Amino acid sequence: MRIWDINPGYLNRQSLLGEHRELHAVVSVIENSKKGYSRHPETLRWAGYGWALSMRHRILAAEMKLRDYQDRTPVRAAGRGGDWPDQYVDEPYRQLEILQDKYRYKEQGRIPLPKGSQQLWSQHKYSVLARDENLYRRLGKEPGSAGKERFPELVRTLTELLRGQPSAGGLRNALQQMWGHLSGSSPGFKGHSDKWPLKRLLREIQNRAKERKESYLLSSTALGELMAWIPYEGIDT
């Protein structure tokens, strides 16, 4: 039983659907006080974090939909909004290493497992921009010079940053940047995207990125996870 902390874009189809099943199992054990798996490390660390379990499920469901899988089993577990477990079964950088071994001769995830800090940053940059533009500018200067010893720290920083709720303005800023990456071949839409609702804008980005096999955006965490936050807590859709 495992609930990953890294972005689910790194998971292949089997791991993605497997985590979805196991998250429901953890919710059931916690909410119904079941004895089976009640002392499992994943169950123990998520106990009391119902909101975070619900949010992780939303992020999984957004990634599943991006890959044309439908989620019909929402999770609405109770818990204080914004609170996430402060412990890991495996540190985020170790989770990437585990997947590296696990997928050595298997199907890969949507997002390639990063070979260094620069690639890791490029995969997360739009997700960071949606949450903190100043941090986006600061972190954007660091990965190229970060040595291997700082990679674990950067993985954890980015993993935990993506647990934060982006503002409507931050979302629009990041999505406009992503749209700008695509709009060169769609000049007719370029002048109107700033008036589109956030959900429509991200759907258009997703669809065009998949149609054109646009590798840079297809390797972005934001392409999936931002959709999980758009309808959340009254953010304008």
Query: For the segment 41-100, what is each residue's pLDDT rounded down to a tens digit?
Result: 999 999 999 999 999 999 999 999 999 999 999 999 989 999 999 999 999 999 999 999
pLDDT at 186 over 90: no
Locus of tokens 């800023």: 173
pLDDT digits (tens, 9 = 90+) for 109-161: 999 999 999 999 999 999 999 999 999 999 888 765 556 778 999 999 999 99
Percent of the chain with pLDDT over 90: 80
Q: Is the pLDDT of residue 216 over 90?
A: yes
Rounded mean pLDDT, 186-213? 84
The answer to whether residue 104 scores a pLDDT higher than 70 is: yes
Residues 6+ apart with CB under 8 A from 160: 84
Instruction: Give me the pLDDT at residue 83, please.
Output: 96
Mean pLDDT computed over every residue of the chain: 91
| Predicted local distance difference test score (pLDDT) of residue 187 | 54
What pLDDT is stored for residue 74 in this prediction? 92
What pLDDT score was predicted for residue 146? Answer: 58
Distance CA 123, CA 119 (A): 6
pLDDT at 123: 98
- Of the two residues 184 and 235, the one the predictor is more confident about is 184
Q: Mean pLDDT, to the nearest integer, of 198-212?
A: 96
Per-residue confidence (pLDDT) for residue 141, from 0 to 100: 82
